[in-house]
Amino acid sequence: MTGRLSAGSLVAFLSLHAIVSKDIYDLTKKVVPALISSAGGLQRIEEITREPVEVSEAARPRPVPPGPLAFRLDNVTYSYPGGKPVLKGVTLDIPAGRRVALVGGSGSGKSTIVGLLLRFFDPQEGRVLVNGLDVRNVSRDSLYCRVAVVFQESFMFDGTVRENIALGKPGASDAEIQAAARAAELHDAILALPQGYDTAVGEQGGMLSGGQRQRLAIARAILRNPEALLLDEATSALDPATESAVNATLSRLAVGRTVVSVTHRLASACDADLLVVLDQGRVVETGGHAELLARGGGYAALWAKQSGVEVRGEAAAARGDALAVRVRPHHLRLVPLLAGVEEVALADVAARMVVENWDAGRAVVREGEVGDRFFVIARGRVEVTLHVGGTVQHVAVLDDGDFFGEQALLAGARRTATVRTLTPCLLMVLERAAFEEVVRAYPALQAAVARAAERRQAMAADVLAALDETTLLEG
Ligand SMILES: Nc1ncnc2c1ncn2[C@@H]1O[C@H](COP(=O)(O)OP(=O)(O)OP(=O)(O)O)[C@@H](O)[C@H]1O
Ligand SMILES: [Mg+2]
């Protein structure tokens, strides 16, 4: 209008303006936010890389001596920093090419042994040997390239299925990744995903089922074709059907490798070449399944407890089909209230129990509530906690074959503790109303119930009042 700008300059200005403003837009909307979030990520990565190494490598580490992998714990005593010894004088041979199962109650030291074999920490006394050489002198790389681990919970990165498997062996080819997925019996399931191997698994593997996540972890482990496979409760968080399927896969993959498997479920350990029973940090029994049963010790007792509930047709049990899970009548004799009761009455009680599926992390009974249900654990783990002087105290972990809440079979009983599921659980439940029907039919049972009710009232008066924190914990 004023003649200071030619039409040509205006057009040039406008096209330049479009380009520059697009770049400024990209810079502020895309580049800067990406930079900021990467800086945050990088900071966290730096924090991790700056973490001091707890056990440092020997000045002149040696490679693992050649030959098939064998481990030995030689009179090992270990305590976590500032704690009491959790392994006490443990001597244990893990021969090459054999399958050794570590079994025992919660806190008996099984995972600690796995940690020692991988040299996550060093024992205060004794030695851990790999092919005869103290792991303290072994180079970490030479050990880790021959060993793979699968834990109960496997970490999934927010990437694709392919990337998550490839973590086991950076730089693995597609063919290797697929072979590992096939070996873990995951290949077909991956192909069924929207983008196959390129499907994003989502935050913490949310796109995959629990069984698929564990199979992915197995594929990741097997990708390195490890000579030794360490499995720490690798299948125990899975439902029964998936658990037995994944266990079958693991058994196939175990052939020709040294396997150390940790499990509290004896049914998935009993075919091991060697069973090692741990109790409070000590090896209490070792041998084969039949041998240990014949010995009639702790293993036999644990086996009897775990076979107290029969899970027939695992697939049906996973659906929660009541017919598939059955408490064996004689198992109920372990419940103090039912100890002296005749077999027919117990069979009647067992027949009235129904199965329930519980997710992990839920309170089954709460301290102080009036209860009317008694539980037997068919599968899974629960934690028992109690309020003592304002704090929550851990009392026990119960698992397959254990029972709780029997006081609720007596009218008006309040729960004395909180029981929360640690893993998905299959629980057999007896309602008091159903129990009372049985009680009416059997005079002997009626008398037992009356006696128990009297005892409980006497207990409530004097024993409970006298219990202090220490006796509760020790009890
Ligand atoms: N990081 C740790 N710091 C301190 N104490 C620990 C640590 N990990 C385990 N413990 C303790 O060491 C003992 C043995 O634990 P460990 O994990 O080896 O038992 P576990 O047999 O694997 O039990 P679970 O069957 O419950 O997994 C327990 O008393 C436990 O509380
Ligand atoms: Mg453990």
Q: Residues 218-269: pLDDT tens digits?
A: 999 999 899 999 999 988 777 777 788 888 889 999 999 999 999 888 888 8
For the chain, what is the radius of gyration of the CA atoms? 29
pLDDT, mean of residues 47-56: 86
Does 468 have pLDDT greater than 60? no
Residue 320 shares a structural domain with residue 296: no
Q: Is 109 in the pocket of ligand 1 (CB under 6 A)?
A: yes
Closest CA to 69 of 224, 271, 214, 233: 224
pLDDT tens digits, residue range 157-184? 989 999 999 998 889 999 999 999 999 9
pLDDT, mean of residues 370-393: 90
Residue 295 shares a structural domain with residue 219: yes
Question: Is 110 domain-assigned?
Answer: yes
pLDDT at 451: 83
Task: With cut-offs at 50, 70 and 90, classify the pLDDT of residue 475.
Answer: very low
| 174 Cα: distance to centroid of ligand 2 (angstroms) | 34
pLDDT, mean of residues 23-42: 93
Residue closest by Cα to atom 26 of ligand 1:
106
Residue 345 shares a structural domain with residue 430: yes
- Give the long-range contacts of residues 83-88, CB within 8 A, separation 24 or more: 85/124, 85/281, 86/112, 86/281, 87/112, 87/113, 87/116, 87/123, 87/281, 87/282, 88/280, 88/281, 88/282
pLDDT tens digits, residue range 269-286? 888 999 999 999 999 999
Residue 288 shares a structural domain with residue 368: no
Among 84, 108, 236, 422, name the best residue to mutate to test ligand 1's pocket (greatest count of ligand atoms within 8 A of Cβ): 108
Backbone dihedral region for residue 58 (phi beyond 0: left; psi -120 to 50: alpha; all else: beta): beta
Q: Name the strand (E) or helix (H) holding 353.
A: none
Residue 409 shares a structural domain with residue 320: yes
Q: For residue 99, give the CATH number of its domain.
A: 3.40.50.300
Among 55, 102, 111, name the best residue to mutate to test ligand 1's pocket (greatest count of ligand atoms within 8 A of Cβ): 111
Among 55, 79, 80, 260, name the best residue to mutate to test ligand 1's pocket (greatest count of ligand atoms within 8 A of Cβ): 80
Residue 197 shares a structural domain with residue 113: yes
Residue 413 shares a structural domain with residue 368: yes
Domain limit, last residue, from 257, 289, 305: 305
**Distance of CA 415 to CAs 9, 367, 407, Å?**
86, 5, 8
Residue 256 shares a structural domain with residue 354: no
Report the C-alpha gap between 285 and 255 in whole angstroms: 25
Does 427 have pLDDT greater than 80? yes
| 113 Cα: distance to centroid of ligand 2 (angstroms) | 9
| 111 Cα: distance to centroid of ligand 1 (angstroms) | 7
pLDDT at 387: 87
Among 55, 73, 90, 106, name the best residue to mutate to test ligand 1's pocket (greatest count of ligand atoms within 8 A of Cβ): 106
Atom index in ligand 1 nearest the CA of residue 397 equals 26
Q: Is 381 in the pocket of ligand 1 (CB under 6 A)?
A: no
Q: Is 263 in the pocket of ligand 1 (CB under 6 A)?
A: no
Closest CA to 239 of 431, 429, 421: 421
| 166 Cα: distance to centroid of ligand 1 (angstroms) | 30
Closest CA to 105 of 316, 400, 357: 400
Q: Name the strand (E) or helix (H) holding 401.
A: none
pLDDT tens digits, residue range 322-362? 557 889 998 998 888 888 888 899 999 999 999 999 988 99
Q: Are 222 and 169 in contact (CB under 8 A)?
A: no
Q: For residue 326, give the CATH number of its domain.
A: 2.60.120.10
Give the residue carrying structure tokens 């024992």.
123
- Among the residue ranges 135-139, 146-150, 258-262, 323-327, the one predicted with the least confidence is 323-327
Q: Are 193 and 77 in contact (CB under 8 A)?
A: no
Does 469 have pLDDT greater than 50? no
**Entry pTM:** 0.79
Q: Are 392 and 301 in contact (CB under 8 A)?
A: no
Does 8 have pLDDT greater than 90? yes
Structure tokens at 145: 């390239």
Q: Which residues span the domain enclosing 406?
A: 310-474
Report the C-alpha gap between 147 and 346 in whole angstroms: 49
Structure tokens at 99: 């399958």
| 396 Cα: distance to centroid of ligand 1 (angstroms) | 13
Report the C-alpha gap between 338 and 410 in whole angstroms: 12
Which DSSP symbol is given to 415? Answer: P
Whole-number mean pLDDT of the chain?
Answer: 89
Question: Is 145 domain-assigned?
Answer: yes
| 115 Cα: distance to centroid of ligand 2 (angstroms) | 10
Residue 300 shares a structural domain with residue 314: no
Question: Is 41 domain-assigned?
Answer: no
Task: With cut-offs at 50, 70 and 90, classify the pLDDT of residue 148.
Answer: very high
Q: Is 179 in the pocket of ligand 1 (CB under 6 A)?
A: no
pLDDT at 474: 46
Number of domains observed in the structure of the chain: 2
Question: Is 21 domain-assigned?
Answer: no
Residue 218 shares a structural domain with residue 277: yes
Percent of the chain with pLDDT over 70: 94
